Each structure stands twice: as C-alpha cells, then as structure tokens.
Amino acid sequence: MAESINSLVTNEINGRSSKVKRASAVAAALEVIVAKVSHSPGHHGQVEQEMENLSKYADLIEAAIAK
C-alpha cells in the first residue's frame, strides 16, 4: 500500500492531471479492498461486494487529499 500512497502524494505535489490522480486513487482503493478481503474470515462473495464500492472508496480518497 505504501507505493500507492507515495504515488498519491507525489501526484498531488507535482500537480498531475486529474486522470493520473484518479488512477492513483483507484489503485489505492484496490489495495484497501485487497487488505480488507484478505483479512476477513468468510470472504466468499465479499470481493464482488467490495468491488461495487471501488468508485466510492476512490472518491473518498480523492476528497481526503483535496482537503
């Protein structure tokens, strides 16, 4: 996850395009999903459920960076 976080920070500092920032936020959100699902006892079907939240997680990450 550290790589995604570094990417988010670097993109913000260097004023990267919104597409690059979004791609970094999605990558970070995917890492959150992987961590969450891999540490859940009964993760049958949870991947699909979490993937439905991918855009929401990315939105939250972008909003947090924008503050």
pTM over 0.85: no
Write out pLDDT tens, residues 13-60.
677 788 888 888 888 898 888 888 887 777 677 888 899 999 999 999
**Cβ neighbours of 3 (radius 10 Å):** 11
DSSP string, the chain: -HHHHHHHHHHHHTT--HHHHHHHHHHHHHHHHHHHHHT-TT-TTHHHHHHHTHHHHHHHHHHHHH-
Res. 12 pLDDT band, cuts 50 70 90: confident
